[in-house]
């Protein structure tokens, strides 16, 4: 089982956070999520094919091939679900490449009016910066999660220094995941940096999504930006110790930096969400 939404949810749940997933899941994935203590709202209808991704992973590079299946209808179903009523809770995180920017910006503003904060991990979508309303959606979110390549792609820049300057005008708060170098957050014009621990890396697939789960679990507990970054970096780093994004995640316990030796976690590329 994988995909940005599910890995983020499990990573959060394993810290003891209460989590609900709204997505289009296979029966097997839905069962696994419930076994992890995650509530499931499954938007896949009976008989519809679920998404499948194949990860082609080497020491230095990764690629993904995805059959979208029901995910082709997922965005419309999610928006319809939000239209029927807003969820209860402290925070809503979204992990997909949006098409209907105006509707998502409206959902985000409705959530803010209810006192619910929001975040988004868009993944890698080369045409996303050219979609109408993208910058409006960025400005409506409380947090945006990107890796370094995405940070440059979505700002149309070629260096991180320029990207960070541009992000100050685009979003309220931005988290940039930097793999072996940890992560940084851009908040109110200030940059907060946290290094990564050293772990014995097997596979970095899903590490960025696990980072999101650790960060958000700390965020909803009211921890400060640096503490949230440390929680995210710890969770993302530990996820690299086994293939896939889930099998090496720690079980519920206080979030703290690990003391295991080995080489540092590599940077995490993005993939299409499933």
pLDDT digits (tens, 9 = 90+) for 17-30: 999 999 999 999 99
Q: How far apart are the first and last CA of the chain?
A: 9
Mean pLDDT of the chain: 89
| pTM (two decimals) | 0.89
Query: Taking a C-beta distance cutoff of 8 angstroms, is the pair 75, 51 a contact?
Result: no
In the structure, what pLDDT confidence band is assigned to residue 258 with cuts at 50, 70 and 90?
Answer: very low
For 85, how many CA atoms within 13 A lie in the half-sphere containing its CB?
A: 3
Question: Which of 34-52 are b and which e, b meaning 16 or more Cβ less than 10 Å from the residue's Cβ?
Answer: eebebebebbbeeeeebbe
Does 257 fall in a domain? no
- Is the residue at 262 inside a domain? no
* Whole-number Å distance between alpha carbons of 229 and 22: 25
- The predicted pLDDT at position 274 comes to 29
pLDDT value at residue 55 = 83
Q: Is 259 inside a domain boundary?
A: no
With respect to residue 126, please indicate whether it lies within any of the assigned structural domains. yes
Whether residue 268 lies inside any domain: the answer is: no
Using one digit for the tens of pLDDT, what is the confidence trace for 27-39?
Answer: 999 999 999 999 9
Q: Identify whether 256 is part of a domain.
A: no
pLDDT on residue 29: 94
On whether residue 264 sits in a domain, the answer given is no
Boundaries of domain holding 31: 4-239
- Residue with the bigger pLDDT between 263 and 63: it is 63
CATH code (residue 66):
3.40.1190.20
For 49-79, how does the pLDDT look when each residue is reduced to its tens digit (9 = 90+)?
Answer: 999 988 887 777 778 898 999 999 999 999 9
pLDDT tens by residue, 233-252: 999 999 999 988 899 998 86
183-187 vs 117-121, strand pairing mode: unpaired
Position 248 in a domain: no
| Count of structural domains within the chain | 1
Calculate what percentage of the chain has a pLDDT beyond 90: 80
């Amino acid at each position: 089982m994988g995909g940005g939404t599910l890995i983020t949810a499990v990573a959060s749940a394993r810290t003891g956070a209460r989590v609900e997933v709204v997505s289009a899941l296979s029966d097997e994935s839905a069962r696994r999520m419930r076994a992890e203590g995650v509530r499931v709202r499954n938007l896949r209808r009976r008989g519809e094919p679920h998404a499948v991704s194949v990860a082609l992973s080497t020491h230095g590079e990764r690629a993904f091939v995805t059959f979208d299946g029901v995910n082709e209808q997922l965005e419309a179903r999610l928006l319809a679900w939000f239209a029927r009523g807003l969820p209860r809770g402290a925070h809503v995180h979204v992990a997909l490449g949006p098409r209907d920017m105006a509707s998502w910006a409206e959902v985000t503003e409705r959530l803010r009016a209810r006192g619910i904060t929001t975040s988004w991990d868009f993944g890698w979508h080369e045409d996303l910066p050219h979609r109408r309303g993208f910058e409006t959606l960025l400005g409506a979110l409380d947090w945006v999660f990107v890796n370094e390549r995405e940070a440059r792609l979505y700002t149309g820049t070629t260096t991180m220094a320029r990207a960070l300057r541009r992000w100050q005008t685009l979003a309220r708060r931005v988290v940039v995941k930097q793999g072996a170098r940890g992560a940084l957050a851009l908040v109110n014009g200030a940059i907060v940096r946290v290094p990564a621990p050293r772990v014995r890396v097997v596979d970095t697939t899903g590490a960025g999504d696990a980072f999101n789960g650790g960060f958000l679990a700390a965020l909803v507990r009211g921890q400060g930006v640096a503490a949230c970054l440390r929680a995210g970096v710890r969770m993302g780093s530990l996820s690299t110790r086994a293939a896939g994004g889930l099998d090496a995640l720690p079980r519920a316990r206080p979030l703290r930096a690990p003391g295991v030796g080995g080489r540092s976690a590599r940077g995490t590329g993005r993939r299409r969400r499933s």
